[in-house]
């Protein structure tokens, strides 16, 4: 009997079937997969979202998935965005071409997310200052950083599992 959750996003997104060598390898790491799923839930749907609503989190996650050319993962996050009942302005944040349309807070969130998603080595203390200048609290900067860190991890694990599956 499998210890892996049938609702595990990483396993589903990587296309891992109910059997096979990659599935067997993951069975031995069921604890890590469970922690990954728990982190997904905590990053996207925390009980206390602070100043980053569930809709904003889902929109940013969709955006990051799109920036990483993973449309299947983007579709997963679009479902979360719809479930959050986000308004049009928040939903627009999911589009990598959207720049915040003059809203300083959203523009800062998007600029930071785009930077850490595509060129993480280029981030500087000034990028954090830009978030603060846009009125984003220290706690929400931490929340945003946690979300971005999780997404980077998740995208890489999915890519790695897809590679393993392709070569198995």
Report, in this order, helix, strand and coil percent for the chain, each rounded to 5: 70, 0, 30
Q: Are 80 and 55 in contact (CB under 8 A)?
A: no
Cα distance between residue 143 and residue 127, in whole Å? 15
Instruction: Tell me whether residue 57 is in a domain.
Output: yes
Instruction: Tell me whether residue 2 is in a domain.
Output: no
What's the domain range around 47?
9-167
Q: Mean of the pLDDT values across residues 125-140?
A: 97
Query: In terms of C-beta density within 10 A (0-12 exposed, 13-18 middle, 19 or more buried), how is residue 45 classed?
Result: middle
Q: What does the block give as tokens for 155?
A: 């995208």
* Higher pLDDT, residue 1 or 114: 114
The model's pTM is 0.91
Q: Mean of the pLDDT values across residues 78-101?
A: 97
- We report the CATH number of the domain holding residue 126 as 1.20.1290.10
Instruction: Tell me whether residue 15 is in a domain.
Output: yes
Q: What does the block give as tokens for 108?
A: 């800062």
**What local confidence, expressed as pLDDT, does residue 123 receive?**
95
Instruction: Tell me whether residue 1 is in a domain.
Output: no
Phi, psi torsion values for 99, nearest 5 degrees: -115, 5
Instruction: Tell me whether residue 153 is in a domain.
Output: yes
Instruction: Tell me whether residue 162 is in a domain.
Output: yes
Q: Tokens 């720049």 correspond to what residue?
A: 99
**What local confidence, expressed as pLDDT, does residue 33 receive?**
85
Q: How confident is the model at residue 131 (pLDDT cuts 50, 70, 90)?
A: very high
Q: Mean of the pLDDT values across residues 32-60?
A: 95
Q: Mean of the pLDDT values across residues 29-36?
A: 86
| pLDDT, tens digit, 9 for 90 and up, residues 47-74 | 999 999 999 999 999 999 999 999 999 9
Instruction: Tell me whether residue 3 is in a domain.
Output: no
Averaged pLDDT score across all residues of the chain = 92
Q: How confident is the model at residue 1 (pLDDT cuts 50, 70, 90)?
A: very low
Number of domains in the chain: 1
CB contact set of 124 (below 8 Å; sequence gap of 6+): none
**What local confidence, expressed as pLDDT, does residue 6 receive?**
58
Instruction: Tell me whether residue 114 is in a domain.
Output: yes
Number of H helices, E strands in the chain: 9, 0
Cα distance between residue 98 and residue 96, in whole Å? 5
């Amino acid at each position: 009997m499998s210890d892996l959750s049938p609702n595990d996003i990483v396993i589903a997104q990587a296309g891992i079937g109910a059997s096979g060598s990659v599935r067997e390898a993951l069975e031995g790491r069921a604890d890590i997969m469970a922690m990954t799923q728990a982190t997904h839930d905590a990053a996207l749907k925390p009980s206390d979202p602070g100043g980053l609503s569930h809709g904003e989190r889902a929109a940013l996650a969709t955006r990051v998935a799109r920036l990483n050319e993973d449309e299947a993962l983007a579709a997963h996050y679009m479902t979360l965005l719809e479930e959050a009942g986000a308004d049009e302005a928040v939903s627009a944040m999911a589009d990598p071409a959207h720049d915040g349309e003059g809203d300083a807070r959203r523009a800062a969130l998007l600029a930071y997310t785009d930077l850490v998603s595509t060129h993480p080595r280029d981030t500087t203390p000034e990028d954090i200052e830009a978030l603060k200048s846009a009125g984003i609290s220290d706690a929400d900067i931490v929340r945003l950083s946690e979300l971005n860190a999780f997404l980077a991890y998740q995208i890489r694990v999915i890519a790695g599992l897809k590679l393993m599956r392709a070569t198995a």
